[in-house]
A and B are shown apart, each in its own frame.
Chain A
Amino acid sequence: QQQVKQSPQSLIVQKGGIPIINCAYENTAFDYFPWYQQFPGKGPALLIAIRPDVSEKKEGRFTISFNKSAKQFSLHIMDSQPGDSATYFCAASKSGNQFYFGTGTSLTVIP
């Protein structure tokens, strides 16, 4: 059973565009929702994370929107740059230990 579903699988945007990546989860016990950025040949790196007690969190050009009732959360990248080209993973966790990752979204930002 896939605990976290992520879409789209790949995304191509022009520089300055606003790519949006969506995730949905099943388990209402999840209480921590991070997004990870992964460049080729590197490990995932934490980008931004949110807890279910807020509906939005913004850090720089990255924003998470969280809809608890719909069990969905999304990542928005404002004013996207070619350097943002990477694979993005959403994840969910219940009180630590095990993270459940989405299947990843390959983002390409065209100059």
Chain B
Amino acid sequence: EPEVTQTPSHQVTQMGQEVILRCVPISNHLYFYWYRQILGQKVEFLVSFYNNEISEKSEIFDDQFSVERPDGSNFTLKIRSTKLEDSAMYFCASSSKLAGIGELFFGEGSRLTVL
């Protein structure tokens, strides 16, 4: 069964460092997303990406965040200068259609710990 894969599964970093989280969406999907989940809290939308550009982003997705699809298969989330409050589980998701119409497939997440 096709799946969304994410790396690394866990990353520990010092505050102020740059972090790149990687995702390989399901191959025929066109819509890509990043969500985050602070421990014990709800899943929060960060950004959606379609046709090589951001289609929507939340208030959380400020200038320290960026996304890229560098090679047609990977989908990356970069956090330029990490803060303690960026510690969370980051989920990549993909869909063959707009998420409100098609099923959203989530990866297993990348746990980021900022010290």
Contacts and interface: CB of A to CB of B under 8 A. Distances in A.
Contacts of A93: 99-100
Interface of A: 6, 31-32, 34, 36, 41-46, 89, 91, 93-104
Contacts, number: 66
Scoring A42, A43, A44, A45 by chain B CB atoms within 10 A of each residue's CB, the highest score goes to: A43
A6 B41 CA distance: 12
B100 A101 contact: no
B104 A46 contact: yes
B91 interface: yes
Nearest to A32: B100
B30 to A, nearest CB: 12
A45 B4 CA distance: 11
A97 B55 contact: yes
Contact of A94 (B31, B48, B100, B107): B100
Most A-side CB within 10 Å, residue of B44, B45, B91: B45
B43 interface: yes
Interface of B: 4, 31, 35, 41-45, 48, 55-56, 58, 91, 93, 97-101, 103-109
B41 A43 contact: no
Nearest to A43: B106
Contacts of B44: 101
Contacts of A101: 42-45
A43 B99 contact: no
Given A43-B109, A44-B91, A103 B41 contact: yes
Contacts of B106: 36, 43-45
B91 A43 contact: yes
Contacts of B55: 97
B103 A95 contact: no
B101 A32 contact: yes
B104 A98 contact: no
Contacts of B105: 46
B109 A103 contact: no
A89 B93 CA distance: 16
Nearest to A90: B42
